[in-house]
Homo-oligomer: A and B are copies of this chain.
Amino acid sequence: MIPRLALIGLGLIGSSIAHAAKRGNLVGEIVGYARSPETRATALELGFIDRACDTAADAARDADLVILCTPVGTIEAITREIAPALKQGAIVSDVGSVKASVIAQALPHIPKGVHLVPAHPIAGTEKSGPTSGFATLFDNRWCILTPIPGGDPDAVKKVEDFWRALGSNVDTMTPEHHDRVLAVTSHIPHLIAYTICGTASELETVTGSEVIKYSAAGFRDFTRIAASDPIMWRDVFLHNKDATLEVLGRLTEDIFALQRAIRKGDGEMLHDQFTRTRAIRRGIVEAGQDTDADNFGRYKGKKD
- Chain A residues at the B interface, C-beta cutoff of 8 Å: 19, 23, 73, 97, 122-127, 132, 134-137, 139, 141-142, 144, 171, 177, 180-182, 184-203, 205-206, 208-228, 230-231, 233-235, 237-238, 241, 244-245, 247-248, 250-252, 254-256, 258-259, 261-263, 265, 267, 270-271, 273-278, 280-284, 287, 289-291, 294-300, 302-304
Residues of B contacting A185 in the complex (Cβ-Cβ under 8 angstroms): 200, 206, 210-211, 214-215, 217-219
Residues of B contacting A259 in the complex (Cβ-Cβ under 8 angstroms): 245, 248, 252
Closest approach, in angstroms, between the C-beta of A178 and any C-beta of chain B?
A: 9
Residues of B contacting A141 in the complex (Cβ-Cβ under 8 angstroms): 216
Known: A134-B302, A237-B261, A245-B259. 11 other contacts (CB 8 A): A126-B295, A134-B304, A181-B211, A184-B211, A193-B277, A195-B258, A202-B250, A216-B289, A218-B225, A245-B263, A248-B259
Residues of B contacting A303 in the complex (Cβ-Cβ under 8 angstroms): 134, 136
Docked Cα-Cα span, A261 to B215, in Å, equals 28
A192 close to B194 (CB less than 8 A): no
Residues of B contacting A190 in the complex (Cβ-Cβ under 8 angstroms): 218
Closest approach, in angstroms, between the C-beta of A77 and any C-beta of chain B?
A: 15
Can you list 7 residue pairs at the A/B interface with Cβ under 8 Å?
A97-B217, A142-B213, A182-B214, A185-B206, A194-B258, A195-B258, A227-B277
Residues of B contacting A195 in the complex (Cβ-Cβ under 8 angstroms): 251, 254-255, 258, 273
When C-beta atoms are compared, the residue in chain B nearest to A173 turns out to be: B210
Per DSSP, are chain A's interface residues mostly helix, strand or loop, or mixed? helix
Docked Cα-Cα span, A219 to B184, in Å, equals 8
Q: How many copies make up the complex?
A: 2
Docked Cα-Cα span, A302 to B116, in Å, equals 32
**Contacts A185-B214, A263-B241, A276-B201 known; A136 to B271 CB distance under 8 Å?**
no
